[in-house]
Structure 1
Amino acid sequence: MLFHVRMDVHIPLDMPIEKANEIKAVEKAYSQELQRSGKWRHIWRVTGQYSNISIFDVASNEELHNILQGLPLYPFMKIEVMPLNRHPSSIREDDS
């Protein structure tokens, strides 16, 4: 199942920079492992914002929910999820 996910990050301004950097480093490692596994297909930065648009390829809503809750920055995110379905006018035979 493919999902379009927008994540807007709002780290508290009073969080010590060392703590924020530590969380970001763990987040990067976690997201890169999910990318290598194929579950996190694409990630794009939204220009001028601390946000990203991502495409996930997972087996279920529950799997996506668990992945998102596992993000170290999850407590500081606003997340919007849109399930995706193949459009009947698509010229592609697969999800590439």
Structure 2
Amino acid sequence: MALRFRKSFKLAPGLRLNISRKGASVRVGPKVAGYTVGTSGQRVSAGIPGTGVSASSKIGKRKSDNQNTSPTMSSWATGLVGLFLIVMFLGWLF
């Protein structure tokens, strides 16, 4: 049996911070559609409320299948710097 960990924090209306064992991500948008930036790349998703039907697509550069896709220290640092910049921008905005 595999155990999973995921925690989501609401930072502002339409802005969420997601933390899991594999890394962190920030999601912008409502529940039905959104843009996610995280340690594993960028993703766009959309769904139909109440049906369980949704679609998600990774955008940006594609990694070849033979490369290691586990998060590295540099990907964590990049995610944390991006998160810091978003939080600073929101602090300035509000």
**What TM-score does the superposition give when structure 1 sets the normalisation length?**
0.29
**Structure richer in helix, relative to its length:** 1
Greater relative contact order, per chain length (Cα 8 Å cut-off, separation 6+): 1
**What TM-score does the superposition give when structure 2 sets the normalisation length?**
0.29
**Structure richer in strand, relative to its length:** 2
